[in-house]
Amino acid sequence: MTAQNGKDLLIKLDLNGSGQFETIAGLRATRISFNAETVDVTSLESEGGWRELLSGAGVKSASISGSGVFRDEATDERARQIFFDGEMPEFQVIIPDFGVVEGRFQITTVEYAGSHNGEATYELSLASAGALTFLAL
C-alpha cells in the first residue's frame, strides 16, 4: 500500500435516513479506532503460567473523532440535531485503500471553539452503537 492523503479519510453521515451519505463538511483531522476487550481465562493449569484469552469473547467497539471548521450548514445542523435528540443514525467511514466501515454511532461529544483572530472550529466524538459492517475497497 502506498502513502495516502489524510484528507481522503472521510466521515459520512446519513442526513435523513434514506441511505444517502454525505461527508461531514469542514473536517481537517479524522481518526477511527477499533477496540476489542479481552476475557482472561487463565488458570493454574495454564501452560507456563502464561495468560490465556477466550477467543471471540469480549465487547467490540469503535470510536470516531474529527475536528474542523464550519463549512456546510446542512451537515453542521444535522450533527447538532443528532447530539441533542440522542439519535444514533448510520455513519460511514471511508478509509483510503482499505475499506468502508458502516454502522450506527452516537455523537458523544460536540465542542466549539474560536479565538478572536481566527476561525470558529468544532470537534466531534462518536461511539459505535451496534454491529458494524466492513466492505473492502
CATH of domain 6-136: 4.10.410
Which whole number is the average pLDDT over 39-43?
A: 95
Grid coordinates representing 20 are 444517502
Average pLDDT of every residue of the chain:
90
Q: Would you state the pLDDT for residue 66?
A: 92
Q: What is the pTM of this model?
A: 0.85
Q: Would you state the pLDDT for residue 1?
A: 63
Task: Report pLDDT digits (tens) over 12-31.
Answer: 998 888 888 988 878 889 99
How far apart are the C-alpha atoms of 131 and 60, rounded to whole Å?
A: 9
CA distances from 131 to 8, 61, 65 (A): 24, 9, 18
Q: Would you state the pLDDT for residue 8?
A: 81
